Amino acid sequence: MSQFAFSFDAARCSGCMACIVACQDQCDPTAEEQVAFRHVAKLESGAYPSARIDHFSLSCQHCGDAPCVAACPTAAISRRAEDGVVLVDRDLCVGCHSCELACPFGAPKFQEDGRMAKCDLCHVRREYGLKPACVLVCPSGALDAGPIEELSSRKAQRASVKILKSLIAFSSADK
């Protein structure tokens, strides 16, 4: 099994919230549903003149040892063997909110019917060869998704390109 996961590059995120809109558009079963499975947290740090704002786009992290799975009294939440995606069977959910207390990311959301719903890593889209909706729309390429080994190699590649570029800029400034 290869774990399928999101990757997120905080340096690239501008906090445009396009991922939230795309997620709502993709996942809302009805137009009235207000719940988004993804949210963007704003982190402020430091003080003028070295103040800094970072944005973090968070959804379900599809944890390897997901605390919500153990907390669920009905076994409605499970981790799929083939790609490690944590899924909820809404037919089994009784709306007890136990998962909400267990999750440190605020990923479980409760819809109008009182039952939990959350990010499923767009597994249906992926079956058709499409990227998750939030990844597709991310204009700065901060969000990505894929098998976890591939993600880290992509990340390493990006980092090396960054270093190369800075070297090129440095050498051309030299001339």
Residues contributing to the site for other proteins (CB under 8 A)? 3, 5, 10, 41-45, 54, 56, 61-67, 70-71, 73-75, 84, 92, 94-98, 100-110, 114, 148
Nearest C-alpha neighbor of 87 from the set 149, 4, 28, 158: 4
State the minimum distance, in angstroms, from the CB of residue 172 to other proteins: 32
User: By C-beta, is 80 or 131 nearer to other proteins?
Assistant: 80
- Residue 120 CB, nearest distance to other proteins (Å)? 16
Query: Least distance to other proteins from the beta carbon of 151, Å?
Result: 11
47 class by beta-carbon count within 10 Å (0-12 exposed, 13-18 middle, 19+ buried): exposed
* CB of residue 159 to other proteins, shortest distance in Å: 16
Q: How far is CA 109 from CA 1, 87, 96, 115, 148, in A?
A: 28, 13, 12, 8, 25
For other proteins, the closer of residues 29 and 106 by Cβ is 106
How buried is residue 66: exposed, middle or buried, by Cβ count under 10 Å (0-12/13-18/19+)?
buried
Q: Is the alpha carbon torsion for 33, 36, 41, 42 positive or negative? A: negative
The nearer residue to other proteins, 25 or 54, going by C-beta atoms, is 54
Of 62 and 133, nearer to other proteins (C-beta) is: 62
